[in-house]
Amino acid sequence: MNRRKFSRQISLGTGGLALLSPLSASCSPKTRSKESLGVALVGLGSYSTYQLAPALEETQHCHLAAVVTGSPEKAKRWTRQYKLNPNSVYDYENFHQIAQNPEVDIVYIVLPNSMHAEFSIRAARARKHVICEKPMGLSSEECVSIIDACKKAGVKLGMGYRLHSEPYTMELKRLVKQKKYGQARYISSTAAYVSRGNPNQWRLNKSLSGGGALMNMGVYAFQALIYAAGSNPTSVSAQEYSTRPEYFKETDETITAQFEWANGALGQMMTSHNYRSNHLRAEYEKGWVELSPASTYIPLSGKTSDGPLDFKQESQQKLQMDDFALHIQGQQPNRAPGEMGHRDLLIIEAIYRSIREGGKKIKLNIAPDYGRSPLF
C-alpha cells in the first residue's frame, strides 16, 4: 500500500476521528524556554490530534513547528489552528525539503508501523533528530537500519515511549534500581482494550501494522515486566487466542506470554484488542508493587507493600517530549533510546516464533541491560 492509498484510507478510517471535534485552542505556556526546539509531527491521525499536539501546547523545551500530512484539508486546518508557517507544512512526497527548514529540530514519526523505518531514515538523512512511535519497525532489521542511519547522520534517536517519563513508572524503576524490596520473584502485566471500530482501520491491516495487539498494546505489557524485573528476560513462550476471527482477519487478537529471568524470576503478560485490562503487579523478596491502571493515558494509580503512591499527574506526552528535548540539549540521558525499540522487536519476533512453533520456549539472546536507559 503506497502513501497516497494510505492517506485516502486513513481519512475514511480511524484518522477520520480528527474531523469529529475541533483541535484544542492554541496557547503557549508562560514557562517555555528560550532554547525551545521545534517539532515536526509526521502523520496527523488521532494520536497527533488528541495527544501530541495538545501536549506540545504545554511543553517547556519544545514546540510544534511543522506538520507532514497527505491530506490537504488537514494541512489547511492545522496551519490555521496552530498558526504554522505555510512553508512548514509538508506532504509525504516533499518531506525531504524539511532538511532546509531551520525551525525544525525534531521529527516525530506518528505513521502506521510499516512507514516507521522509511520516514525515520529520511528524517535522519535530513539531519533532524528523530522520535519514532512504537513499534520501531516491522522487523529487528528495520530497527538496526534506523539506528545506523541516525548514527551516520549524527542525530539523536528516541522512542515514543511516554511511560518512561511518567512518575509512577519512574518510581517503580527507582525502587527496582535501589533494590528496595530485593529481587523480583513473579511479575504479571496486562495491556488490553476492546476494538470495535472501523474494520478497515490500519491497525487491522497486517501490511500496515505488521501485527495486532502485540505490536500495539503488547509493547506496554512486556516492557512493564522488564522494568519491574530490572533486566531483560532470558526466554519466552507464548500463545495466541482468537474469538472474533471475522473482525481480526489478519492480525492477532489476544496473546499471552511467559518469561524467565536469569535470577529465576518469572513473568506473565496478556495483551489484547478484544478485552479490557491494564494492570501490573510485581512480587519481590521483601514486598510488592502494583500499578492499576499501569499504562493508560488517564492518571495512573499505584501502591506498594509500604502504602499508596501519590504523584502529580501531567500529560505523559508532554513529559516525554520535554525529556527528549533536554536530552538533545545535553542536559540528561535518553530515557528511551533507539536500542530499546530494537530490543522490543527482538522480543516481539521471539513471541511470534513461539506461537508459530506451538508455544515452544524461545531463548532470548539479548544482553541483560541492552536497550535500557542510563537513568534506570
In the chain the domains, ranked by start, together with CATH numbers, are 3-161 (3.40.50.720), 164-312+338-363 (3.30.360.10)
**How far is 214 from 256, CA to CA, in rounded Å?**
9
What is the per-residue pLDDT for 70?
A: 97
State the DSSP code for 50.
Answer: I
The C-alpha cell at 373 is: 536507559
Known catalytic membership, residue 134? yes
- Check if the beta carbon of residue 136 is closer than 8 Å to that of residue 344: yes
Annotated catalytic residue within 47, 90, 220, 352: 220
What pTM did the predictor assign? 0.92
- Other C-beta atoms closer than 10 Å to the C-beta of 8 total 13
Annotated catalytic residue within 74, 90, 128, 134: 134
**How far is 286 from 179, CA to CA, in rounded Å?**
10
Q: What is the pLDDT of residues 302-311, one digit of tens each?
A: 999 999 999 9
The C-alpha cell at 202 is: 490500519
**How far is 364 from 215, CA to CA, in rounded Å?**
18
Overall residue count recorded for the chain in this entry: 376
Chain centre distance of CA 118: 17
Q: Quick one: which of 190, 80, 83, 59 has its CA closest to 131?
A: 59
Q: What's the N-to-C CA distance of the chain in angstroms?
A: 39
Q: Rg of the chain over CA atoms, in angstroms?
A: 20
Give the pLDDT mean for 13-37: 51
Q: What is the pLDDT of residues 162-178, one digit of tens each?
A: 999 999 999 999 999 99
What is the per-residue pLDDT for 48?
A: 98
What is the per-residue pLDDT for 31?
A: 67
Known catalytic membership, residue 220? yes
Give the pLDDT mean for 152-162: 98
